[in-house]
Amino acid sequence: MKQKNGLGRIVSFLADVWEILLKDLRLEIRRKYEIHSVLIFALLSNLLFAFAIGPSNPNVREFAPAVLWMSILFISMLCFATVFVREVDKGTLDGLRLAPISAQAVLTGKTLYTFVLMSLGAVLIVPSSMIILNYTFNSDGLLVVFVLALGILDLSIVGSTVSSLTMYSESRGLMIPSLSLPLIPGTLIPSILATGKLAAGATLDAVLPEIQLNLGYLLLVSAALGITFEYVLYD
Amino acid sequence: MRLSNVSKKYESRFGLRNVSFTVDEHEIFGLAGPNGAGKSTLIKILATLTKPTGGKVTIAGYDVLRQPRLVKGLIGVSLHNSLLYDELTGMENLTYYLRLHGCRDREEAKDLVFHKSSLFGIEDRLEDPVGNLSSGMRKRLDIIRAAIHNPRLLLLDEPLSELDSEGLEYFRRFLRSAREYSTVIFSTHSLEVVEEISSRVCILKMGELAELRYPEK
């Protein structure tokens, strides 16, 4: 039996999250085709946007953040579609439902898995976008990474929410983008604004409102999903 | 394990109707009956996967409806469909599930997996991806997965469905070992097998308990 005291619960929770994340990443590496499709799609969408706008466009610096986040959004849709659905389709979700672990551990593990997968796509998208559209971030590198990671984490939580709510639905191909639609602007708009400011050389103070918005959104969606996910998973 | 007037109603029909019985510790309890008799529904209720619409179920004193997480720590479940990941090896699958049950020591987990697998004669196939195994081998591995953490109650839904004669022999051996630490409840539509293996037999018909008896051996 697992430990029951406060610290033991936290350690046990983190260990469960780690096991789920590790298992999903291992599955992803073995399958290969899904990670490949994310990376190819990331590069392709980036290239298409870049050619549509053109590197010599005088407004490229204004378009670049939106282009960057549109590409990340597209790959996020690929990730959302698999996060829970694959477990349902293969029948392995019952393995998670039967394990003596909290629903929040399952959710956190799945959200982190989506985050890692999307971050891999972003690692390809960001530099290629900078090269193709010929722009740079004139701000602190760590701040850029933080803003991008926060935006991707927000998107991952939205994706986990939508994916979990639609996992039993036969029409989830339609449901995932439809339910994402009202949720995504809440995270995407501050991310685009912050990225635009960072490309222009902004400091932490200048992007603080957007960071606060994204953090607030992160907490809000996490809290809502944390409360409801137990019912989604078990009922 | 105690069931008191357990019912499960689907829109217009009963999957289970007022089923009551108790199962003692270390029993091997067989559930038999034709297709649609309610065997899988009963197993899923005991496994906390389906909620009964009436009655009460307790396992080791814990209420299945009110304390599902505590119950999950006590049970091991093998369903009709395998809960194994095809892309992972048998060892990876079993250690993953074992760790979710709280066994964090990797060496200890590996030793336990190897020991349990040897009971089913598949210790030399543990490094193969599950997707490469035959359906019979996969079934053996899934039964081991259910029992890997030495649960107090082992629930097996149609464990014999994919097993050949050799697999059935291993299953008998496995049950002898499992009953040392577990109570086993398994379902099958073969009355012959359930009579042979079980210490007590429950026959369900159309969701109702038709007969509860000791097997004629």
Condensed to tens digits (0 to 9), the pLDDT of residues B1-57 reads: 999 999 999 888 888 999 999 999 999 999 999 988 999 999 999 999 999 999 999
| CB-closest option in A26, A90, A97 to B92 | A26
Chain B hits for A32, CB-CB cut-off 8 Å, are none
Rounded to 10°, the helix A103-132/A141-166 angle is 130
As a dihedral over the C-alpha atoms of residue A45, residue A48, residue A54, residue A58, rounded to 10 degrees, the angle is -40
Instruction: Please give, rounded to a whole number of angstroms, the shortest distance from the CA of A235 to a CA of chain B.
Output: 8
Residue A4 has pLDDT above 70, yes or no: no
Question: For position A38, what pLDDT does the model report?
Answer: 80
pLDDT tens, residue by residue, A105-137: 999 999 999 999 999 889 988 988 888 888 888
Helix (H) or strand (E) holding B80: none
CATH for B2-213? 3.40.50.300
Question: For position B48, what pLDDT does the model report?
Answer: 94
- Choose, out of A86, A97, A98, the residue to mutate when testing the contact with B (most B CBs < 10 Å): A98
Chain A hits for B73, CB-CB cut-off 8 Å, are 1-2, 100
A10-24, A86-100, A127-141: the lowest-pLDDT one: A127-141
Name the A residues in 6-35 with CB < 8 Å from any B CB: 12, 15-16, 19, 23, 26-27, 30-31
Token digits of residue A171: 């029409």
Q: Tokens 């005088």 appear where?
A: A58
Pick the closest to residue A163 from A214, A70, A89 (CA basis).
A89
Q: How confident is the model at residue A234 (pLDDT cuts 50, 70, 90)?
A: confident
Question: For position B11, what pLDDT does the model report?
Answer: 83
Question: For position B13, what pLDDT does the model report?
Answer: 86
Inter-chain residue contact A234 with B99, CB threshold 8 Å: no
pLDDT tens, residue by residue, B75-98: 999 998 999 999 999 999 999 999
Please tell me the distance from the alpha carbon of residue B112 to that of residue B100, in angstroms, as a whole number: 14
Residue A2 has pLDDT above 70, yes or no: no
Q: Tokens 């392995």 appear where?
A: A92
Token digits of residue B45: 């209720």
Q: Tokens 């814990």 appear where?
A: B62
Question: For position B217, what pLDDT does the model report?
Answer: 60
Please tell me the distance from the alpha carbon of residue B140 to that of residue B153, in angstroms, as a whole number: 18
Interface residue ranges in chain B relative to chain A, Cβ cutoff 8 Å: 47-49, 51, 68-70, 72-73, 75, 77, 79, 81-88, 92, 96-97, 99-102, 104, 129
| CB-closest option in B84, B87, B100 to A31 | B87
Of residues B79 and A79, which shows the higher confidence score? B79
Pick the closest to residue B110 from B91, B129, B90 (CA basis).
B91
Residue extents of the structural domains in chain A: 6-234
pLDDT tens, residue by residue, B138-196: 999 999 999 999 999 999 999 988 888 899 899 988 998 888 889 999 999 888 888 88
Inter-chain residue contact A98 with B82, CB threshold 8 Å: no
- Choose, out of B66, B71, B85, B145, the residue to mutate when testing the contact with A (most A CBs < 10 Å): B85
pLDDT tens, residue by residue, B105-143: 889 999 999 999 998 889 999 999 999 999 999 999 999
Q: What is the mean pLDDT of chain A?
A: 87
ipTM of the complex: 0.90
Instruction: Please give, rounded to a whole number of angstroms, the shortest distance from the CA of A22 to a CA of chain B.
Output: 9
Q: By CA distance, what is A26's nearest residue in B?
A: B88
Q: Name the E strands within chain B.
A: 2-10, 13-22, 28-32, 54-59, 62-63, 75-78, 153-157, 183-188, 200-205, 208-213
Q: Hey, what amino acid is at B130?
A: V
Does residue B86 contact residue B130 with C-beta atoms inside 8 Å? yes
| CB-closest option in A30, A98, A101 to B47 | A98
Residue A214 has pLDDT above 80, yes or no: yes
Q: How confident is the model at residue A216 (pLDDT cuts 50, 70, 90)?
A: very high
Please tell me the distance from the alpha carbon of residue A100 to that of residue B72, in angstroms, as a whole number: 5
pLDDT tens, residue by residue, A172-187: 778 888 888 888 888 8
- Classify strands B13-22 and B2-10 as parallel, antiparallel or unpaired: antiparallel
Pick the closest to residue B187 from B154, B156, B166 (CA basis).
B156
Q: By CA distance, what is A28's nearest residue in B?
A: B87
